[in-house]
Amino acid sequence: MHDSNNTFVSVVPTVVQGAPRRIIRLPSGYQLPRPPRLGHRVRAAAAAYNIHLHHDIPQAIASRPVFPHTHASAVPSTLQHKPAHDSTAVHTPKALPQGTTHYIQMPQDSQPQSQRKPSTMIALRLRKLAQVLQHTWRHSPLFVLWWVVYAALSVGAFMWKFMSYRHNAGMFNLAGYAICFARGSAEVVLFNGFLLLWPVMTRVQYWLWTLWPGLARCLHMEHRVTCHIVYGCMYYLGGYVHVIAHLVNVLIRVPMACETTWSDSMLANVTDFAHGPKPDAVRVLFQTATGLTGVAMLVCSLVAPYCKFQYRQSKAVYWNKWGHICDGVMFGITFAHGMQHWLEQAQAFPIMGPPLAIYLVVEVAPRYFCTRRNAVTHFTKTQDTVTLHIPTTQRFANALPGTFLRLQVPVVSPFEWHPFSITSHNDTEVTVQIQVSGDWTSRLHDIVYPHLMVRIDGPIPAPAVEVSQYKVAVLIGAGIGITPYMSTLHQRATSAVATPDCTPQHQQQLYVHWQTNRQALFGTHGDLLERVAWLDGVDVQLHLTGDCTKATPDDLNVLKTAQTLIHDQEAVDIISGLRLPKTTDLGRPDFHAILQQVAAKHPNDT
């Protein structure tokens, strides 16, 4: 169009069909830059977000012009006279165009957590806890019922012993409510000590999964680690209350009591104090077996939580090892702590002894005396993972998909056993994939060599073994966490070869979603994914997160366009480098929407 002062040329850029058009007025004589080609834009976007392209872009696709998408909005903008844009420049996703007023609408819940009121944070946490409890009750009512019974038994054990000493006139006159709390908390320690080892008896649990899977599901053994942690925390909590109450007794109540009150109590007749004066605190704590074992248990109970906290911070295995060594020492000293029978007969042996004996016979002894060293058949190693192919043993002949094994590598550590999920297994070997995380796995990654001698023990049940019980299953794995489901996919590929005439109506429908921020990890299971992704009843979708979650919409559109065009022409995904029916999704997946789609597609199946 023409104006008396200036001459303008109206340019309408090519936009996606259906998107609003925006007219840009340029001064006469302004030379439009050459539109960037798709190949340049794809390479620039991939370089900006650390994405490696696994396939060359064909010339017919790379030479296509790309116009930026223009979106109409209420955001005012001013025209900037700039030199022609270099199409090969790397775009920084955080940079915003200059000369443009940007309006950002923050969500209502986007207030920084540090600026929220304490009452608001407490309300949010209570609401989240209520949602978790509601979800757990809906899907695992027996599991919730067990925790109700557990709480009732713990309170009942405490109150039973508390009231028995409340009505013991001699001891109550000497120590008051302190002795009641000490004995009640001791009963809680014994109760949780009885429960502590059952969740880690993996052989018993695997026998249940194999023989009575219905009973195993009712017991919710997939939560065994959570149960073990809860029992251990209550074991320590009861011990702390026991120590505080007895310190009140030894340091305050007994020194203040008169000789008559002391002589009327049960303690005056025990072997350590019989026919003598009222003892002082030093004699009680450091000159008797009961006092010395109590001090040793207190030291262990302080060191063990510190070691486990350091393990959570550093992921160094030796912290976890020493923390559990302190646990074992404290557990063993518990048996000796009451052997002097000061107040009543020792209860540790009849209560905590049976599960300890079963654990030693069923779990520990076979691990060292019923396993043999085998040489690794072969291995593969990447920058931060190592995959070991180990000769199988008789125990793994009929191992369920999704199970774990314990691995010992004597050259790394002769005493440490670590659990890893079984990636695949057949009649000759089992495969485990190990990610470098911590000192033990780092040493294994550094020293692995052909024919490395190892020991394996198992199998260990895991939540993934339940996959076969459902007609429709959604398998979601993050990073190295996909390995339990790879065993399930390996079995599916094997059964497809063994029974090629099986109709889709009689097959289980599997939806596999693998999310990772490390692009190279896709190649570690590439062969298996390419085999199963084309089978009937298997839907595989990969998700790449990491830096691409910060990508701008234009860069994402460019990458997705190139993905689609090359996948249609070459049948290969340039992001994963695999030949799959679907291209890799860029960004964090919306699992809520994904699960809703699956539920809508299979309304009557689970």
Q: Quick one: pLDDT band at residue 64, thresholds 50, 70, 90?
A: low
> What pLDDT, on a 0 to 100 scale, did the predictor assign at position 463?
67
**pLDDT tens track for 202-237:** 888 878 877 787 777 777 777 888 899 999 999 999
pLDDT computed for residue 81 by the predictor: 37
Residue 124: how many CB atoms within 10 A of its CB? 13
The predicted structure's pLDDT at residue 73: 36
Q: What SS3 class is residue 545? A: coil
Max mean pLDDT among 139-143, 153-157, 535-539, 588-592 falls in: 153-157
DSSP tag of 44: H
Enumerate the CATH 2.40.30.10 domain ranges in the chain, comma separated.
374-461
- The dotted CATH code for 466-601 is 3.40.50.80
C-alpha 538/C-alpha 328 separation (Å) is 46
> What's the pLDDT score for residue 70?
40
Give the pLDDT score at 279: 83
Nearest partner of 359 among 205, 239, 225, judged by Cα = 205
3-state secondary structure (DSSP) of residue 83: coil
pLDDT tens by residue, 387-396: 999 998 888 8
Q: How confident is the model at residue 407 (pLDDT cuts 50, 70, 90)?
A: very high
In this structure, are residues 402 and 465 in contact, taking their beta carbons and an 8 Å threshold? yes
What average pLDDT does the chain have? 79
Give the pLDDT mean for 574-601.
89
Mean pLDDT of 309-319: 84
| In the predicted structure, residue 96 carries a pLDDT above the cut 50 | no
pLDDT classification of 47: cutoffs 50, 70, 90? confident
Q: Residue 58: which pLDDT band, with cuts at 50, 70 and 90?
A: low
Q: Is the pLDDT of residue 358 over 90?
A: yes
Burial label, 161 (beta-carbon count in 10 A; 0-12, 13-18, 19+): buried
Stretch 293-316: mean pLDDT: 90
Residues in contact with 163: Cβ distance below 8 Å, sequence separation at least 6, in sequence order: 180
Q: Which residues contact 485 (CB under 8 A, 6 or more apart)?
A: 402, 464, 467, 475, 477, 512
pLDDT at 66: 55
**Beta pairing class for 385-391 and 453-460:** unpaired
3-state secondary structure 389-427: EEECCHHHCCCCCCCEEEEECCCCCCCCCEEEEEEEECC
Fold entry, domain 374-461 = Elongation Factor Tu (Ef-tu); domain 3 (2.40.30)
Helix axes 224-248, 177-196, angle to 10 degrees: 160
Q: What angle do CA 355, 457, 311 make, to 5 degrees?
A: 75
- Among 109-118, 138-147, 312-321, 425-434, the range scoring the smallest mean pLDDT is 109-118
State the span(s) of the chain assigned CATH 3.40.50.80: 466-601
Task: Decide which of 125 and 17 is more confident.
Answer: 125
Q: How confident is the model at residue 137 (pLDDT cuts 50, 70, 90)?
A: confident
Percentage of the chain modeled with pLDDT above 90: 21
Q: Which residue has the higher pLDDT, 189 or 4?
A: 189
Q: Is the pLDDT of residue 287 over 70?
A: yes
Q: Which residue has the tokens 């009750």?
A: 137
DSSP, collapsed to helix, strand or coil, labels residue 59 as helix
Alpha-carbon 244 to chain mean position:
35
Cis bond before residue 459 (omega within 30° of 0): yes
Query: Which one has a higher pLDDT value, 270 or 157?
Result: 157
Output the pLDDT for position 592.
87
Instruction: Check whether 12 has a pLDDT greater than 70.
Output: no
> For strand 8-11 and strand 24-27, is the pairing parallel, antiparallel, or unpaired?
antiparallel
- Strand-pairing partners, residue 386, are 381, 434
Q: Measure the CA–CA gap between 417 and 408, rounded to whole angstroms.
A: 5
CA distance to 101, 118, 128, per residue, from 115 (Å): 27, 9, 19
Quote the pLDDT of residue 75.
35
